[in-house]
Structure 1
Amino acid sequence: MTFRLNTLLLFAFALQFNSVYGEEPESGSAEPTHNVKLPKFTPYTVSNPVFWEQFTDGLEPVWKRSRAAKQGKDEDRYDGEWAVEEVQELAGIAGDKALVVKSEARHHAISARLSKPFDPALGGLVLQYEVKLQQTLNCGGAYVKLLTAPMKGEFSDATPYTIMFGPDKCGESKLHFIYRHANPITGKYTEHHLQKPPLPPTDGMSHLYTLAIYTNNTFVVSIDGTERKTGSLLEDFDPPVNPPKEIDDPEDSKPADWVDEEKIPDPDAVKPDDWDEDAPAMILDEDAVKPDGWLEDEPLMVPDPEAAKPSDWDDEEDGDWAPPMVPNPRCIDADGCGPWKRPQKRNPDYKGKWSPPLIDNPAYKGKWTPRRIANPDYFEDLAPYKLAKIDAIGFELWTMQAGITFDNIYLGDSVELANRIADDVWKPKHDSELAVLEETNPKPAQQPQSKLARLLELFTVRLEDIAASVKGFYARAQQQGIVEAVRQDHSGAIAVVMAAGGLAWLVWNILSITRYIASLGTPAAVPQPSLPADSQPERSDSAKASSSARADSSKAVNRKGKKA
């Protein structure tokens, strides 16, 4: 009962945690007054990009909102709103406009076609863009998709893509890097996910995400101009690009007479005559002696000598009053109280159930495995960097929070150009945001952090993750139903809540045990400071109140007994 109660309480607390303690300002709220002079926005010219967007001309005609339905779900449509507007929270550049997610708990989709299809096979690929979270992101995506040419129909989750890259958070955070590769034999596409992706920042600053794919099949993932993950398209993705040369024969099966038991009971073994299977595992210790300090005539619990009969106690209505029971103080330092019983010890003659020993199986043939055959679907592609051509760039997202902002999107094949954009466009903005942040939220003087403070900080962070997981799950359950919410429970919200409930139950029991031990009093062996006789303190009001409370408790028990 306690476990279920703690679980329900923690579930309710996690749902309400952010709404009570973590309210975020509206995306349209005014920025706090500060004295930092923001640099003014000026358009930045990029030479020969495949795609370069600063949103100086708004949405139309480059960007097209999608109103399609999600694949196989006519009731789930991309009804989230988009806007191009200036940043409202922690702006770093005056007059700078960006693409902003305007709706909460909605599916969003928007795309822009390239002037012509882009082929990464010609010289590699570089994708770079900025993300700013104007509200704390509890559950939502901020990744971009490079859509495969030719793009057909209205943009949705069914639209084929070549690369998916960018941050995502729903409980846990990760930086997606997924590429789709075509089987040269069947033409079927497979998604390949980066193993051990880096963690993206989740604060309210503008952060720069860069992906570079080179013609030697290597890649580099950078955040804010710093390399965070490097590797190979051939080796660092799951599943790997190239399938195995050989596979188990699906038509092979283990022969009926195959013996794969390595050990068998010895058929010639006989149970010894003196083997007693009925001997008990534990017997009374006949050598045990009652300790000298054992108080056999003392009960473990005694009536509270300090309890007093309540003044409003009615013997006729409430029954005979009896003081509440408390632990016997004489038993604290004694070896034991109550009737002494001889302890038990392990039976030296105990052997348990007899079974014959194991010997090597003379018919053993070894562990059976199916024979290996050539993989009919095998291929070897040593140039996965030659990805499918790209026709458009788009954002197809689900998010519980509005205010996700995208800006300064670059697509091309020049790492040098991406670095110049980072130095000339993103860094001044980031530095300006830092200056505003430092003025509006000055850092307190650094104090040494105790182990308890660090523990509480870690607990708070984990509790926020639990709240985010549960809120995301709850929102999906409301919109899509409980079955679909469970199916999409990528963040493990249910498991997190159950685990947290178990932890709460454990902590509750530890506290209960601690309170019980404290109620037994202080052992006499512990030295206590002595006071003069005339300075001995009288019984405190709290002690009197405690005694009165115990008396009231006894009264309630007696009343209950009488009514029963």
Structure 2
Amino acid sequence: MLRALLLASLVLHAERVSGADTGAAADELPHKVAVPAFAPYLVPEAALWEQFAGDPERAWKRSHAAKAGRQEDRYDGEWAFEDVAELAGVTGDRALVAKSEARHHAISTVLGQPFDPAQRGLVLQYEVKLQSKLNCGGAYVKLLTAPVRGEFSDATPYTIMFGPDKCGDAKVHLIFRHRNPLSGEYTEHHLTRPPVPPTDGLSHVYTLAVHTNNTFTLSIDATEKRSGTLFDDFAPPVNPPKEIDDPDDHKPADWVDDASIPDPDAEKPADWDEDAPRMVPDDDAAMPKAWLVDEPPMVEDPAAKKPADWDDDEDGDWSGPMVANPRCAAADGCGPWERPLKRNPAYKGKWSAPLVDNPRYKGAWAPRRIDNPAYFEDRELYRLSAVGGVGFELWTMQSGITFDNIYLGDSVAAAAQIAEDVWKPKHDTELAVHAALNPKPPAHTAVSGVLESLRARFDEIYASIGAFYDMLRTEGLVAAFRGESRGAVAAAMVTGGLAWLVWNVLLLVRLFSPTPAVAPQRAPAAGGAPEAAATASSTARPATRSGDATTTKRK
């Protein structure tokens, strides 16, 4: 006990010292990470390249409209163009930030001239940083269909919606709107099996490329997460089926589509007993020799005593709690014995006629197929509607959703170069700053350091106690205490005193703790052993027995 307490005190001391050193070092670590300053990055021939430098207020317009059909839901969420406040990877790098919680946000910009994906495809890329993480909200972008008219809202037509969203399940939206060449109506087509976005507090770059061969690629942090075709990977499919069921064709009233029917000539056998039970007693079974028929499974606890405050007039006749009969422990069972059940060989269940082929069966009916009057075939789905603007129309429960470095164009290579030159250095710096603020030394290094400190301290104490004892024998007690300067004897005495105190407290608790009562047992099942008695609550009154009725004292 003494040695264990001594080692525990040394561990606490080592943790206190090492913890103080770690905290002091953590304050200095962020200053060791070189955070680069913002520098404008040029992207030639882009339909839109937005770093929110200069005067973005002139290009980006906040919406104060109401959501379609709901005047009470207005876009009153605040926006700001400001430096990143949390875990910045670049200093002086302004971005677009959604500032409000539990609000509708809407902001948009109009392109200098419409961008037509029908020429060389479409590439959209932008950065998202969730400074306050994300529990419920969107961080997606909309490419607004040209021409852009009126104040931006959820009713504004869009060509593509793309980006992360989380409210319950997290996913990366990819939706494009396609115009029906026959009706002129637009339909939304959603990506099936969308990837899951990261929702931490770091910057992440999302890239969408729609190619002129009707394929697409979706990447997160310059790594492809999803690819496919605009024909096969979206729901509902763009092109309708060439043929459909004739809506005017109905199954004839005399059509029989049951392949089998009960045999009309079959009769129930005369010896078929539908009332025979499934299980019957096993007449071949015999009661085990060690079965004690006259012993009850439960008996009153002979060691129980009536409480001193029990009032027979008020509480009724007292009886002790029930416990398992100790005589049943070594027996096969106690109490009345019953034969086990076995399956009845005469059991057949309800009778039903066997099935035979239906002579009137005509086969499975299906309506005839006709040409789909709404059929069309668009083989150039990549020729999406021209884009006239870019907008963010969001609902979010968290503030601090940050957007930056928006690229719209037709060059996959340009988007990849932006990710390499702009996003990656920023992301790497954020990781370095995060690691500096949250140091995690290898577990084996920390453990070995503590063990080495404990070993050295133990050796020091051991040597000090030996020297104290030698001096005590040769020079006396006073000289021994004067020569003891490392505190080992004092530490041993304090630890011994604490051990003596803890031992006495535990002894007193054990002596004065009340013995818990034992609760009655449930009667064992036929042929089974009695269950173990459960321990009764110390606040419960023992049950009483008055005649055949059982009562409990009311508090």
Q: TM-score w.r.t. structure 2 length?
A: 0.76
- Amino acid corresponding to residue 541 of structure 2 in structure 1: K
Q: Could you tell me which residue of structure 2 aligns to residue 453 of structure 1? A: none
Task: Using the TM superposition, give the Cα deviation of residue 315 of structure 1 relative to its aligned residue in structure 2, in angstroms.
Answer: 3.1
Task: Using the TM superposition, give the Cα deviation of residue 155 of structure 1 relative to its aligned residue in structure 2, in angstroms.
Answer: 1.3
**Residue by residue, what CA displacement relative to the aligned partner does 1:59-106 show, whole Å, maximum 9, x if unpaired?**
422111111111211111111111111111111101111111111111
Report if the CA contact (8 A) 1:254-1:368 is conserved: yes
CA distance in structure 2 between the partners assigned to 1:391 and 1:331 by the alignment: 89
Q: Could you tell me which residue of structure 2 aligns to residue 354 of structure 1? A: 351
Q: Could you tell me which residue of structure 2 aligns to residue 531 of structure 1? A: none
Choose from 338, 341, 350 the match for 2:338: 341
Q: Could you tell me which residue of structure 2 aligns to residue 182 of structure 1? A: 179
CA 1:225–1:147 in 2, change beyond 3 Å: closer, same or farther? Answer: same
Q: Could you tell me which residue of structure 2 aligns to residue 561 of structure 1? A: 552
- Amino acid corresponding to residue 387 of structure 1 in structure 2: L
CA 1:209–1:554 in 2, change beyond 3 Å: closer, same or farther? Answer: closer
- Amino acid corresponding to residue 165 of structure 2 in structure 1: D
Structure 1 stretch 191-200 or stretch 318-327: which is displaced more?
A: 318-327
Q: Could you tell me which residue of structure 2 aligns to residue 479 of structure 1? A: none
Q: Could you tell me which residue of structure 1 aligns to residue 192 of structure 2? A: 195
Alignment of 1:436-447 (within 5 A): 436-445=433-442
Report if the CA contact (8 A) 2:130-2:202 is conserved: yes
Q: Could you tell me which residue of structure 1 aligns to residue 277 of structure 2? A: 280
Task: Using the TM superposition, give the Cα deviation of residue 336 of structure 1 relative to its aligned residue in structure 2, in angstroms.
Answer: 2.5
CA 1:179–1:446 in 2, change beyond 3 Å: closer, same or farther? Answer: farther
- Amino acid corresponding to residue 359 of structure 2 in structure 1: P
Q: Could you tell me which residue of structure 2 aligns to residue 238 of structure 1? A: 235
CA distance in structure 2 between the partners assigned to 1:194 and 1:31 by the alignment: 47
CA distance in structure 1 between the partners assigned to 2:262 and 2:141 by the alignment: 63
CA 1:288–1:127 in 2, change beyond 3 Å: closer, same or farther? Answer: same
Task: Using the TM superposition, give the Cα deviation of residue 292 of structure 1 relative to its aligned residue in structure 2, in angstroms.
Answer: 2.2
CA distance in structure 2 between the partners assigned to 1:217 and 1:179 by the alignment: 13
Choose from 512, 516, 523 the match for 1:546: 516
Alignment of 1:31-180 (within 5 A): 34-180=31-177
Alignment of 1:253-264 (within 5 A): 253-264=250-261
Report if the CA contact (8 A) 1:147-1:159 is conserved: yes
**Residue by residue, what CA displacement relative to the aligned partner does 1:196-252 show, whole Å, maximum 9, x if unpaired?**
111111111100000011111111111111111111111111111111111111111
Q: Could you tell me which residue of structure 2 aligns to residue 487 of structure 1? A: none
SS in 1 for 2:428: helix
* Identity in percent: 65
CA distance in structure 2 between the partners assigned to 1:244 and 1:385 by the alignment: 20
Alignment of 1:245-394 (within 5 A): 245-332=242-329, 334-394=331-391
SS in 1 for 2:57: coil
Report if the CA contact (8 A) 1:307-1:550 is conserved: no
Residues matched between the structures, number? 445
**Residue by residue, what CA displacement relative to the aligned partner does 1:438-471 show, whole Å, maximum 9, x if unpaired?**
1111235368xxxxxxxxxxxxxxxxxxxxxxxx
SS in 2 for 1:555: coil
CA distance in structure 2 between the partners assigned to 1:31 and 1:332 by the alignment: 69
Report if the CA contact (8 A) 2:282-2:341 is conserved: yes
- Amino acid corresponding to residue 145 of structure 2 in structure 1: T
- Amino acid corresponding to residue 185 of structure 2 in structure 1: K
Report if the CA contact (8 A) 2:48-2:111 is conserved: yes
Task: Using the TM superposition, give the Cα deviation of residue 302 of structure 1 relative to its aligned residue in structure 2, in angstroms.
Answer: 3.0
Report if the CA contact (8 A) 1:71-1:156 is conserved: yes
Task: Using the TM superposition, give the Cα deviation of residue 57 of structure 1 relative to its aligned residue in structure 2, in angstroms.
Answer: 3.0
CA distance in structure 1 between the partners assigned to 2:516 and 2:218 by the alignment: 64
CA distance in structure 2 between the partners assigned to 1:157 and 1:324 by the alignment: 72
CA 1:362–1:42 in 2, change beyond 3 Å: closer, same or farther? Answer: same
CA 1:551–1:235 in 2, change beyond 3 Å: closer, same or farther? Answer: closer
Report if the CA contact (8 A) 1:132-1:204 is conserved: yes
Gaps of 5+ in 2: 1-26, 445-506, 519-534, 545-549
Report if the CA contact (8 A) 2:175-2:189 is conserved: yes
SS in 1 for 2:541: helix
Q: Are 1:435 and 2:432 counterparts?
A: yes
SS in 1 for 2:32: coil
CA distance in structure 2 between the partners assigned to 1:138 and 1:32 by the alignment: 30
CA 1:98–1:299 in 2, change beyond 3 Å: closer, same or farther? Answer: farther
Structure 1 stretch 544-553 or stretch 303-312: which is displaced more?
A: 544-553
- Amino acid corresponding to residue 321 of structure 2 in structure 1: P
Larger radius of gyration: 2
SS in 2 for 1:547: coil
**Residue by residue, what CA displacement relative to the aligned partner does 1:164-219 show, whole Å, maximum 9, x if unpaired?**
11011111111111111111111111111111111111111100000011111111
SS in 2 for 1:550: coil
Q: TM-score w.r.t. structure 1 length?
A: 0.75
Report if the CA contact (8 A) 1:308-1:547 is conserved: no
**Residue by residue, what CA displacement relative to the aligned partner does 1:507-553 show, whole Å, maximum 9, x if unpaired?**
xxxxxxxxxxxxxxxxxxxxxxxxxxxxxx9x966985423883855
- Amino acid corresponding to residue 166 of structure 1 in structure 2: G
Report if the CA contact (8 A) 2:321-2:542 is conserved: no
Report if the CA contact (8 A) 1:162-1:389 is conserved: yes
**Residue by residue, what CA displacement relative to the aligned partner does 1:443-500 show, whole Å, maximum 9, x if unpaired?**
35368xxxxxxxxxxxxxxxxxxxxxxxxxxxxxxxxxxxxxxxxxxxxxxxxxxxxx
CA distance in structure 1 between the partners assigned to 2:46 and 2:217 by the alignment: 20
- Amino acid corresponding to residue 303 of structure 1 in structure 2: E
Query: What's the C-alpha RMSD, in Å, of the aligned pairs?
Result: 2.5
CA 1:553–1:341 in 2, change beyond 3 Å: closer, same or farther? Answer: farther
SS in 2 for 1:424: helix
Report if the CA contact (8 A) 1:147-1:390 is conserved: yes
CA 1:306–1:132 in 2, change beyond 3 Å: closer, same or farther? Answer: farther
CA 1:552–1:305 in 2, change beyond 3 Å: closer, same or farther? Answer: farther
CA distance in structure 2 between the partners assigned to 1:187 and 1:415 by the alignment: 31
- Amino acid corresponding to residue 364 of structure 1 in structure 2: Y
Report if the CA contact (8 A) 2:30-2:436 is conserved: no
Gaps of 5+ in 1: 1-29, 448-536
CA distance in structure 1 between the partners assigned to 2:331 and 2:129 by the alignment: 68
CA distance in structure 2 between the partners assigned to 1:544 and 1:336 by the alignment: 33
CA distance in structure 1 between the partners assigned to 2:42 and 2:397 by the alignment: 35
CA 1:284–1:312 in 2, change beyond 3 Å: closer, same or farther? Answer: same
CA 1:443–1:186 in 2, change beyond 3 Å: closer, same or farther? Answer: same
CA 1:279–1:195 in 2, change beyond 3 Å: closer, same or farther? Answer: same
Report if the CA contact (8 A) 2:89-2:430 is conserved: yes
Q: Could you tell me which residue of structure 2 aligns to residue 513 of structure 1? A: none
CA distance in structure 2 between the partners assigned to 1:313 and 1:426 by the alignment: 80
Report if the CA contact (8 A) 1:261-1:364 is conserved: yes
CA distance in structure 1 between the partners assigned to 2:131 and 2:437 by the alignment: 16
CA distance in structure 1 between the partners assigned to 2:362 and 2:512 by the alignment: 79
Report if the CA contact (8 A) 1:146-1:161 is conserved: yes
